Amino acid sequence: MLDAAIRPARHDDLDFLVWTMLTASISHLERSVWETLFDASTAEVEALLRAVATSESTHWCHVDRFWIAEAGGVPAAALSTFDPEVDGTRALMDEIATAAVQAGLSDSQLTGALERGQIFKTCSPSDYPSSWAIENVAVVPEMRGQGVIDQLFAHALHLGRDEGYEHAQIMVLNGNTRAERVYLRNGFDVRADYRGRDFEQTFGCPGVKLLALEY
């Protein structure tokens, strides 16, 4: 197992964080959730994520909510940690319109994203009560299977425990068995499994699972 060094993300990590968010949202699909939401190219989504990560206010995709695991001084994995009540999807949505303009997306792309976002919401479980959330998990392909992500999860879960949260939670697209195995290995278990026909037709998978653990 590699011995990883865990540190907060910095603004000079932005390229790696954009890769992390895009990779996490591709999951096991042919196209990332972000690309589907905005009916956008990969380049357009990368520009959007750069704007999102550096928005004025924080949320679960903001650079200030990320932690990076380094191996040999090079970023090997990342994830974001946050309180869903403070930095959850509502906080992100407050910044999406501004970020979309900065990224050069059209009004029709933003309107379409809001419509498809409602479909996504129908199969998104509610946040677990009094929870510390982890999202945007990705590992550099050549670093997978070497224990880096487990060290990063241990750090993320320790943060929530120290803050006094009763639970930790994470969500995964239904069918992403590789990610789900990692989460189960790190103490989570499935608490909700939401599925829908419109969701599957739009995003290419049945829905979203919520996993949680007790501290």
Query: In which domain, by residue range, is 155 found?
Result: 5-214
The total number of structural domains that make up the chain:
1
* Residue 203 pLDDT grade (very low, low, confident, very high; cuts 50, 70, 90): very high
Q: Using one digit for the tens of pLDDT, what is the confidence trace for 49-98?
A: 999 999 999 999 999 999 999 999 999 999 999 999 999 999 999 999 99
Query: What is the token pair recorded at 35?
Result: 């690309």
Would you say residue 1 has pLDDT above 80?
A: no
In three-state secondary structure terms, 67 is: strand
As a whole number of angstroms, the longest Cα–Cα distance in the chain is 48
Q: With cut-offs at 50, 70 and 90, classify the pLDDT of residue 2.
A: confident
Burial of 115 (0-12, 13-18, 19+ CB in 10 A): exposed
Q: pTM of this prediction?
A: 0.96
Q: What's the mean pLDDT in 165-171?
A: 97
Asked whether 73 and 81 are in contact (CB, 8 A), the reply is: no
Angle of helix 89-102 relative to helix 42-53, nearest 10 degrees? 120
| Mean pLDDT confidence for 105-126 | 97
CATH number of the CATH domain containing 147: 3.40.630.30
Q: Is the pLDDT of residue 107 over 90?
A: yes
